[in-house]
Amino acid sequence: MNITSGIVPKPQKTVIYGVEGIGKTTFASQFPDPVFIDTEDSTLYLNVKRFDKPTSWEMLLQQVDYVKANRPCKTLVIDTMDWAEELCKKHLMQKNGWNAIDATGYGARYVALSGEIGGLLNKLSEVIEVGINVVITAHAWLRKKEEPDEMGAYDRYELKLEKKTAPLVKEWADMVLFANYKTLILTDEKTNSKKATGGQRVMYTTHRPTWDAKNRLGLPDELPFEYSQIAQAFIKATTPATPATPVSESTQSVEPKDAEIADQNLGPIPPEQPEPVHQPDPAPEFTEEIPSSIPQNIADLMKINHVTVDEIVQTIYKGGFMPADTPLENIPDDLWDYLATNWNNTLVFIQGNLRK
């Protein structure tokens, strides 16, 4: 039974949300060595590393799995979570034949949505476990908040996510930062009129009735919305301390004369050579042309997994979905949707029946 004490540095799970245009993506790009899963093309104006824009929920999950397995960065950024949630909704609607995500069946569809989002958060926790920070960005919106023990209601900023998924994201995070423009109200003493001025970009790091925020780094309640304001605390929280090298008694007791004799007897000590690091061979580039009759979400999954057009066609034919002479243009949309939402099973079929 082992008992330890002290601060244990570890990668951080960070959520950054704020009003439109405040600079969430730019802020996230300044975390250590980031790679973006850009769900809404918000990084196109930044010189950053990014995956192809995910066109399906399955594609996004595979990108997260790739980061865990290959560790191509020090920080994984999902930008933004609300657009990722939309991919998840589309996935569930296609998979279950729903027209919308609503409260039908006592909220069963929202429960299914929160289950999928929870699965994504579990994958992101696995990314944390291999030593990679995770940053999630999201938009903010105003919702009416009613307290049962108080009179009236008030507006508060919240993550722009469904009511069952927003708490999951907040609880998962080590740090939730809310970014907004700070506006000052000036009063004209002569006319008693008021006008707004300012517009400084700030971030809030602790909870208030009108917004959600938290941190475990001891940050001030309010800071300018700049990564440099949290950089030192973030590095301290994620970087293990370098232990001092102990000096052995034998080294302390050797007189200079004895040390010279030892050197003469042993001869020159060759410099220590680092062990060679084996670099895995890069995967061959997938160059096959995919016809436009195959939907984009299927095409993207095919590229990631190096699935050929012939393999996807044979899956449709040998799987008994369509007659063997059916042209690609006549494959119905609902069959493509089925293959996309069951992509893991599609891969299993291809590997087990077509790649023997």
Strongest mean pLDDT among 27-31, 185-189, 196-200, 242-246: 27-31
Res 9: pLDDT: 86
Structural domains of the chain, ranges and CATH numbers in brackets: 13-238 (3.40.50), 296-354 (no CATH)
Q: Which amino acid would we find at residue 297?
A: N
Task: Check residue 71 and give left, alpha or beta (phi > 0: left; psi -120 to 50: alpha).
Answer: left
pLDDT for 54 beyond 70: yes
Phi, psi of 221 (to 5 degrees): -60, -35
As given in the structure block, the two tokens for residue 248 are 């052995």
Q: pTM of this prediction? A: 0.74
Phi, psi of 79 (to 5 degrees): -130, 95
Contact 46/31 with Cβ under 8 angstroms?
no
- The CA distance from 336 to 346, in Å, is 11
Q: What pLDDT digit, counting tens, does each position of 285-328 carry?
A: 677 888 888 888 888 888 888 888 888 888 888 888 888 878 88
Higher-scoring residue by pLDDT: 152, 72:
72
As given in the structure block, the two tokens for residue 301 are 């999954």
Q: What pLDDT digit, counting tens, does each position of 30-47 carry?
A: 999 999 999 999 999 999
DSSP of 8-41:
-----EEEEEESTTS-HHHHHTTSSSEEEEESSS
Q: What percent of the chain has pLDDT over 70?
A: 79
pLDDT for 149 beyond 80: no
- What is the pLDDT averaged over residues 195-211? 82
Higher-scoring residue by pLDDT: 279, 182:
182
